[in-house]
Structure 1
Amino acid sequence: MRSSRLLVLAGLIPVIALSACSRSDNASELGASVDRLATQAAPSEAAPAAEAPAALGPAVSPVAPPPQPVIYTDPKSASCGAPGLTSFIGQADSPAVREQIEAAAKSPGGIRFAPPGSAATTDYRTDRLNVMIDVTGVIRDLRCG
């Protein structure tokens, strides 16, 4: 037991002696040198960094207003009769409104009601009337195709 204490003590003596030889202000000198070099290297970079948050503006984007009913039917789309049916734009889609559109439409290619997410063929027919319905169930457009 006594020999193990002597070994530990013998190992600590050189460590203590070496630490006594070193200068205690090395760490503070090194820190001061680093600070001095940092301020000399880029004094102009510190100013824009302080101004940057003010230039960014608000972090939250404004909420978009809900879509408003708009009468948009291409006047050139007369081949399917769409310009004559603009009175249906802005109305809620219902079986009664669909019957009224079918009765009023003069579309030789038929009528296609297109709610969002519905399957539709990609063939373009100038004589077919497309009734475009938005996610709220309102008729937004009448177009040929």
Structure 2
Amino acid sequence: MGLFRTVFMNVAGVHDESKKGSYEWKKEHMSPDQLARTMDNQEKYSGVPAIPVDIGYHGGKNVGGSQQTGVISNAASNPGVILGMGLTTAALLGMFKSSFLGDKVGAQKMMQYRIMAQFFTVTALVAGVTIFGATYEDEAHQK
């Protein structure tokens, strides 16, 4: 229960009985034998599911049919998207600068540049996906 609610309830003279169904209340009212079994189970079973060693620690096995990828390898496979994102960011920053300086014509120009850069980014993304789809060969068909 939150600190504010606790203080408010104490000032109002209301005692909170919602603790009755909570884990702490059950723990306080368990027999010593039940409490010992519960504590053993808590040590044995955590709330975090186990991750298999071959997946969690890169055991060198191909699982799930996917390859390990990273940001750098993805950027290298389609650099047009990264370039388009940079151009879009530059146009946005230029638009903000022009807006803050009160240059309405310059802000409009930068908005147009931003739209062009976004079009370039989306076109590069679609082209990259199309090229990847056309050149992709499944490992099962190679064998």
Q: State whether TM-score is above 0.5.
A: no
Q: Which has the larger radius of gyration?
A: 1
Q: By percentage of residues, which structure has more strand? A: 1
- Bigger proportion of residues as helix: 2
TM-score (norm 2): 0.23
Larger RCO, structure (CA 8 Å, separation 6 or more): 1
